[in-house]
Structure 1
Amino acid sequence: MPVNSFENYKLNWIPPWCRGEAPAPTGPLYLALAAALEADILSGRLPTGTKLPPQRELADYLDVNFTTLTRAYDLCRSKNLIYGIIGRGTFVAARGEESVHPHAARLLDLGVVQAFPKVGEDEIVAAARAVLSRESARKLFSYANREGAPRHRRAGQIWLRRTGIDVPLEQIAVFPGVQSALATTLLSVFSVGDTLATDPFTYANLISLARLAHVKLLPIQNDDQGMIPDELAYAARKHNLRGVFLMPECANPTTITLDDNRRDELAKVCERHKLLILEDNATLDCTAAVRTPFQTRLPENVLHFSGSTRFISPGLRAAFVTYPKRFSERLLAGLHHTSIKASALDAEIISELTLSGEAERILAAKARLAKEANDIFDTCFHLPSTPGDTRLFRVYPLPGTEGHGPEVEEKYRAAGIIVCHSDRFSTMRLAKGAFLRLSLSSTPSFTQLKHALKKIERA
């Protein structure tokens, strides 16, 4: 029985069968709750920024186990329909209602980082046609080579060498994107209750994935050069850390790049405390090759996710992952249990582009556009320019807005712009230094990018 009567305390959302609008579900309740919440978000019944009922209160109202609500909310988080702010609650995400509103097409999207998706389309289509025209294409539609065909892993080997990583084929696997690789790692290499160190602001989907895997995230203090080694060492001694998640090249969302000195210091801490490093490496910066990745420094301690393949095309879901031999069995079993395998067709297209040299040419073209986009950003906000800057997103400070992300995002959405507030990326309560992460690579034209940035400046 519910603890509270709720007669004088109305919840702002309950499922349709409690509203008398649908019959009670017969299948798993958490799936029915997730589907009902998704339907109400997509229909516009729950507008952007709506604060959802606390899970414990809704569980009490429905007279169900708390974990049932947790699973339902986590499913919606995985679809980017909702997100949480530590200490404030769970809110409807700005993109949740986009597809059902006529004005959505007029919104300028500075939220999703797409890396100029139109660039390279002709080359990608040509590669796909070449792949499918061969007799060998028939082999792409089976469960064979679950870790990736030898040709795909050879392409991965070449791709990894771009950043100074040289590993044997048996330590390379093809995953359906970095997010899938991270999920697999947390579920198969980590254990329930393990603690993973991160930056105070980190990849938003890692926060959701860690919650699903019941892995604790521990924010480590940063300075303007990234994670502070002494703070990581202190946390390793005090909290029995299992590992650390690092984005050494243009970290998402802060854009910080770790220099070699900082990498050396962090690597020493990780080696001393036997910390596993999850290294997510993705950049268009042609100077990245002069900086040594963590995988080369500590090959037996690093799982390296080469995320730059997504810059070729966001729709080709194939990422190359390298790992120490001791994790091979667990990681590949995890790949099988979570995804079975990456799409062999996607991997073949990526391999075709890599082995032909087209992938490098596509990235070079995107890097040129990124330089132009960064010049526009610097001009709009009167910031000092960085010669040759190829970042695909930038940070616009909004001090004093910590904990008010949904309201801020809705304000800009009302002005016709989709943005991501730093609350989405925060791993701690009211993390200081609030900002907007602004994509420079998703608007159809630079004219629209200038228009959007000027609107932000005026707002």
Structure 2
Amino acid sequence: MPDQALQWKPQLSNQKGPKYLALVRALREGIREGKLMPGQKLPTVRDLAWRLGVTPGTVARGYQIATQEGLLQAEVGRGTFVSIQSARLGPTEPLYSNSSYEYREGQNDGVVDFRSPILPDVGQAAALSRAMAEAAREVNDQYLKYPGLRRDAYCREAVLEWFPPGFSLRSLVTVEDVVLTLGGQNGLSLVMQCCLRGDRPVVFAEELAYPGFRHAARLHRAEIQPIALDDEGMIPEALDHAARRYNGQLVFITPDAQNPTAVRMGTARRIAIAEVARRHNLQIVEDDCYTAPVTNLPAMRTVAPERSWYVTSLSKTISAGMRFGIVVAPDGMGEAGRLTAQHSYFGLPRPVTDMVTRLFTSGDAMRLRFAAQAEMDRRLKMAINILGAQEITWQEGLSFLWMRLPLGWRSSTFVRMAEAEGVLLRSADEYVLQDGHAPNAVRIALSGGVSEELMCQALTRLTVLLQNQPNDLPV
């Protein structure tokens, strides 16, 4: 019997949808039909990938979903087995027989993507076109030179206009504090290059955190220690406990719009985090790339100016394709940050700095920022009206919300069933750090790139899904 399972080769060519979901359905069908028996060992990821002509990542993801559903069980050092708890399963047709969604490889017809915010066009295309045309008319010999440490000063000066009146950094930041980066992700990497020392530096991050931080830490050979969260974000006592146990160098937080939970950190909590950071000599990375609407809450760069790195970008409000990010370095560290940027990528391309400077100095950047947030806020309230019976965390003007699933649902199962209905989401699993516990929740990012009608239809399909217990649904 084990040999039979090891030689198992499902036929995926006649299955609809992504290959990893087709593999899950084939596993479910094989167990239901008795072709795969409880306790049997399955082929290794690489072996099955080679036989099926797909990538190992496709098989690994299919195995992971099937394991989360209880179809399989993985044993370290031994392999993957059909779960001894696997029951005979029902039909493997789509969730709803009248579903209008049909996924075709390489196409996204009818799919609504709520995985990452998609900006609405509130005038960005026209503004960028104007800025590009104006910059093109003034090309000079500066384009023949490397950007240099000082040649972007004109753009750094203009960037100060990104901090609106009422924001705590407005009157504190100078042009010498600013470092220009190739987007927010590049900004995180630059801070790590400036701060981390040693072969295996330790960094602290929220137990549910933006995956890009995890990837950047891995590139810098850093070990991440997760810190517990509550309804205000990172818990200072948990950070203090971890800092006493590990010799950390840096702590990553998102105080204004925690990603993915959408909670906001109060002033007292920010001060407490800063006190812990001082006690243990930690540098603070404040991620504000979602640029939540302006509040009277102080930025960490205001609370602890000697150790806080403020990171933001234009990606969530104006243009993700511009790849323009801003780092406000701690007091006296701006030159070190720009030197790191020089050594890493020689500074931003001149066409980008010329265009962005015109966006800021013309007032277009601020106008577009608030217009995009207003549009996202309008769509957010539509989403809340549709999903209102669910447990949701959100903020006005923010482009995503956090939804805890009803009892009985697993986030991975819900995401898979939503995908079968043409709605793409991110489960809590994607934000969990190593050895962390994923709550049964999903993040829903708003899509400004689809019609309101299509967006509402997709959200309504989610509410229909949530009205049922997963064990009662045909799979």
The bucket for the TM-score relative to the shorter chain is 0.7 to 0.9
| Letter in structure 1 aligned against 2:188 | L
Rg larger for: 2
Unpaired stretches in structure 1, ≥5 consecutive residues: 1-5, 22-35, 59-97
In the other structure, the counterpart of 1:252 is 259
Which amino acid in structure 2 is aligned with residue 350 of structure 1? Answer: V
202-211 or 143-152: bigger deviation: 143-152
Identity %, equivalent residues: 20
Measured in 1, the distance between the counterparts of 2:205 and 2:414 equals 25
Distance 1:175 1:148 in 2: 14
8 Å CA contact retained: 2:293, 2:396:
no
Q: Is the 8 A contact 2:147 2:348 kept in 1?
A: no
Report how far residue 170 of structure 1 moved: 2.5
Return the alpha-carbon distance in structure 2 between the equivalents of residues 46 and 132 of structure 1. Answer: 48
Hey, what does 2:428 align to over in structure 1? 422
Q: 1:210 to 1:405 in 2, by over 3 A?
A: farther
Structure-2 separation of matches of 1:401 and 1:129? 56
Shift of 1:419: 0.8
Q: Give 2:322's aligned residue.
A: 316
| 1:457 corresponds to 2:466 | no
**RMSD between aligned alpha carbons?**
3.6
In structure 2, how many angstroms separate the alpha carbons of the residues matched to 1:174 and 1:249?
21
> Which amino acid in 2 is paired with 1:255?
A
> CA contact under 8 A between 2:178 and 2:326: conserved in structure 1?
yes
1:13 corresponds to 2:13? no
For the pair 1:280 / 2:313, whether they are aligned, the reply is no
Unaligned residue ranges in structure 2 (runs of 5+)? 1-5, 8-40, 66-73, 79-101, 466-475
Deviations 1:367-419 (A, max 9, x none): 221221121121111259999811100011126689x6555433221110111
Q: Which moved more, 1:197-206 or 1:181-190?
A: 181-190
Query: In the TM superposition, what whole-angstrom CA distance separates every residue of 1:284-335 from its partner, at most 9, and x where no partner exists?
Result: 54433x2110111211101111235642111111111121366556544442
SS at match of 1:363: helix
Equivalent residue for 1:370? Answer: 376
What residue is the counterpart of 2:208 in the other structure? 201
Cα distance 1:153–1:253, how it changes in 2: closer, same or farther (>3 A)? same
- C-alpha separation in 1, matches of 2:253 and 2:351: 30
2:132 equivalent in structure 1: 128
Aligned mates of 2:393, 2:44 — CA distance in 1 = 50
Counterpart code for 2:211 = A
Deviation at 1:12, TM superposition (A): 2.6
SS in 1 for 2:285: strand
- CA change 1:343–1:100 in 2 (3 A) is farther
Offset of residue 212 of structure 1: 2.1
Q: How far apart are 1:47 and its partner, in Å?
A: 9.3
Q: Deviations over 1:143-178 (max 9, x none)?
A: 223576111110122324653322332321110011
> What CA distance in whole angstroms lies between the structure 1 residues aligned with 2:464 and 2:369?
33
**Counterpart residue type for residue 144 of structure 1:** P
Distance 1:252 1:104 in 2: 26
Q: State which of 112, 115, 119 in structure 2 corresponds to 1:108.
A: 112
* Residues 1:302 and 1:416: Cα distance change in structure 2 (over 3 Å): same
The residue matched to 2:265 in structure 1 has which SS? coil
The answer as to whether partners of 2:111 and 2:423 remain within 8 angstroms in 1 is: yes
> 1:157 is matched by which residue type in structure 2?
L
Alignment of 1:295-444 (within 5 A): 295-308=301-314, 310-324=316-330, 327-328=333-334, 331-382=337-388, 389-398=396-405, 407-444=413-450
For residue 158 of structure 1, the aligned residue among 161, 177, 180 is 161
Bigger mean CA offset, 192-201 vs 164-173: 164-173
- Residue 172 of structure 1 corresponds to 178
3-state SS, counterpart of residue 248 of structure 2: coil
**If each structure's helix is expressed as a fraction of its own residues, which one has the higher value?**
1
Q: Deviations over 1:76-126 (max 9, x none)?
A: xxxxxxxxxxxxxxxxxxxxxx99825423211101113325642212211
What is the match of residue 238 of structure 2? 231
Q: TM-score, normalised by structure 1?
A: 0.75
What's the TM-score once normalised by structure 2's chain length? 0.73
1:279–1:304 Cα contact (<8 Å) kept? yes
